[in-house]
Amino acid sequence: MKKTFRTILAAVVALAGTVTAKADEGMWLPSLISQRIADMQEKGFRLDADDIYNINQASLKDAVVLFGRGCTGELVSGEGLLLTNHHCGYSQIQQHSSVEHDYLRDGFWAMSRDEELPNKGLSVSFLDRMEDVTSVILNGYDPNMTEEERVALVKKNSSALIEETTKAGNGLRATVEALYYGNQYFLFVYREYNDVRLVGAPPSSIGKFGGDTDNWMWPRHTGDFSMFRIYADKDNNPAPYSKDNVPYKPKKFFRISTAGVQEGDFTFIYGFPGSTKEYMHSEGVRYIEELGDPHKIALRTLRLDIMNRHQGQSQKVRIQYSSKNANVSNAWKKWQGEVKGIRKMKTVATKQEYEKAFASWAKGTEYEGLIEKIAALYEELEPYAFATDYYSETVRTIELANFAMSMARLFVIKDDVMSFDKTRAAELAESFYKDWYQPIDQESFAAVMTQYEKNVPEEFKPAYYKAQMEKYGNAQAWADDMFGTSLFTDKAKVSELTAEDKDQVFADPAFVFFNEFLKWYSADVQPQTTRLNRELDLAYRDYMRGQMDFAEATDGPAGREAFYPDANLTLRVAYGHIKGYSPADGVYYTPSSTIKGIMEKDNPDIFDYNIPQRLRDIYAQKDYGRWADASGEVPVCFIATNHTTGGNSGSPVINADGDLIGLNFDRVWEGTMSDIVFDPEICRNIALDVRYVLFTIEKIGGAEYLFNEMVFAE
């Protein structure tokens, strides 16, 4: 008998809440945490579900924020003091930096509220509540509707619900998110604060210690933290930046534990994981392993080599490209670990075996033929996905071309009169030229477009591209001409632009480059990827229900042991315990690192390992104060089995009593495939020990006055 949508949805919720997870795998919805609390308590947690999530009284959720649009932060005082990662606050630190005031190199510490630095465009969001709104969003749905009609209905109902939810204003923001590929919908209501000021940051030689070499690696010795303060109006409400604003008074903030951590201790992460694809078909994984990741890695390697060479030759360029370099290198190295992990786990083969069993079970059910349908869609999508990856990692990375397009969009016709927003143009120009270095951009153009010629099939090369290559012969000559003739390489010329210069701007080679590729992509590639991804989403909606039915029918072993929704930058709970791991035969990593490891890596000749002299002096004198552990060293980082991903950067790592013990900032390289498949033996999150944060504030920053507003667990 065919199940109704509501029956299947009930099964989704029940399975997601009650089936025991595989080891410490899972990213769970806080509003449903009561369905996981018994397992958490069995593993050592000493609080209850209401302590984690409660909309009627203060709970731990009220001490956690979405920092910007891609990280997590946590409140550590009743005065709005906030901790997040150094790399999460990196762009703000970089924006305040100059050759004269190099806060990236030297660090920054506000010694009073008046010295805290405001940050344009930075916001933090507190989750007020989340609720299942599936019945509201699908109100009016008819099974006979086409997918386009269903999408339109969901969009219409979502917009109406969001408008109703946020009509009171006062910083309210809401989103409706699809879970389980659209089998369920949740409303997330936030309160957003926009006056967020930089309080402190260690030198990059601490906050980014090890740089790209150590990124995603264990053992780790990176002091990856920065400090901000949230400000509000006199009534504690969100308000634009004003000198009259006062520190925000949170409903809840974290006590800080200085007792230390031991292997086996319970850990719990509360944060905003960005994106996972745990239920992906084998063909999707195969594309990532064999084509997507390897080509993106190769293209980014070229760009990073160029950046690193120029940054090593100039302090000014190093500052200009520090944030850009970090953004490029982060995914670059993650993809390398992801491919390695997928291959080591034989993920494609394992999924193929599962899909074979699913297909056999599905015969005679509504899911018959579904596995084959998804495989066929991936086969059709693959060349378009490859073209998209190359477009994104080549054309879209040329800074000059992006800037030219941004300026061109400032020409607007209104009432048959051409206008040009000179104020906005000046703002864009100031931002662009401050952090742009032509040799890097020009060399990168030649490098990536050479690879475009080599690797993109002829049928996916635009006519414009072919004409340019015929004209110039190679990408280097093309780059030399574009960067030699574009007006956008000259700040003075850009500052003189007026509405009368539209034709000149639209004929500029940098604009034409971006615009011609954009037109081609929009006409020839994007419609196909949109269509095919929509068909895949529809198939995955059925496949998600099918996997749950399969698990239920086979009592678990043939299916997954737990069904948590994929991450989508909404607040989640992940729990586990502190534990080392063995990445290879004969190798075992203990779960903690100390300051001793920093000194073993210290190298004044390498920027990323050249620690402050102050830290060397402290180590030589063993002047650790209260921050030494039982071994006599200062703890730096630890690893645990919590299931995390991008977006969890800055998330609070919490102990069994709900106290802060660290800040999540990374995963081990061998386990970065956890976005696709979780291996409890190898997947580890990396956290900064809060004791090293406190040590750095006091001993390096001299800002121990901040401790006066914190609360320490007894």
Sheet of 685-689: strand order equals: 572-577, 266-271, 652-654, 660-667, 685-689, 635-640, 592-594
Residues in the chain: 714
Quote the CA–CA distance of 255 and 267 in Å, as a whole number: 15
Phi/psi class of residue 241: alpha, beta or left (left: φ > 0; alpha: ψ in -120 to 50)? Answer: beta
Work out the angle between the directed axes of helices 438-455 and 370-393 (0-180°, nearest 10): 140
Which of 228, 224, 229 has the alpha carbon at shortest distance from 203?
Answer: 224
At residue 323, the 3 state secondary structure works out as helix
Sequential DSSP letters for 177-223: EEEGGGTEEEEEEEEEE-EEEEEEE--HHHHTTTHHHHTT-SS----
And the tokens for 701?
A: 């920053």
Question: Which residues are within 8 A (CB) of 470 and not within 5 positions of it... i.e. 6 or more apart?
Answer: none
Which of 87, 83, 100, 110 has the alpha carbon at shortest distance from 702?
Answer: 110
Which of 16, 18, 28, 17 has the alpha carbon at shortest distance from 575?
Answer: 28
And the tokens for 223?
A: 């002091």
Catalytic, 649? Answer yes
- Which stretches of 435-474 are DSSP H helices? 438-455, 463-472
Which of 322, 649, 651, 674 does the annotation list as catalytic?
Answer: 649
Which of 296, 300, 299 has the alpha carbon at shortest distance from 328?
Answer: 300
Catalytic, 444? Answer no
At residue 138, the 3 state secondary structure works out as coil
Which of 513, 535, 2, 75 has the alpha carbon at shortest distance from 270?
Answer: 75
Which of 633, 635, 622 has the alpha carbon at shortest distance from 690?
Answer: 635
For residue 219, say if its preceding peptide bond is cis, omega within 30 degrees of 0.
Answer: yes
Half-sphere exposure of 467 (CA within 13 A, CB side): 7
Nearest-5° Cα angle at 558, 554 to 563: 90
Which of 51, 195, 214, 224 does the annotation list as catalytic?
Answer: 224
Quote the CA–CA distance of 142 and 637 in Å, as a whole number: 53
Quote the CA–CA distance of 371 and 354 in Å, as a whole number: 10
276 and 566 in contact (C-beta within 8 Å)?
A: yes
Which of 86, 87, 281, 577 does the annotation list as catalytic?
Answer: 87
**From the CB of residue 51, how many other CB atoms can be counted at a distance below 10 Å?**
19
Quote the CA–CA distance of 449 and 198 in Å, as a whole number: 39
Q: What are the CA-CA distances from residue 104 to residues 29, 173, 649 (Å)?
A: 36, 33, 19
Quote the CA–CA distance of 86 and 72 in Å, as a whole number: 12
Measured in degrees and rounded to the nearest 5, phi and psi for residue 325 equal -60, -45
Quote the CA–CA distance of 569 and 127 in Å, as a whole number: 12
E strand map for 489-554: none
Give the sign of the dihedral formed by CA 86, CA 91, CA 92, CA 93: positive
SS (H, E, C) 639-692: EECCCCCCCCCCCEEECCCCCEEEEEEEECHHHHHHHCCCCCCCCCEEEEEHHH
Residues annotated as catalytic are 87, 224, 649
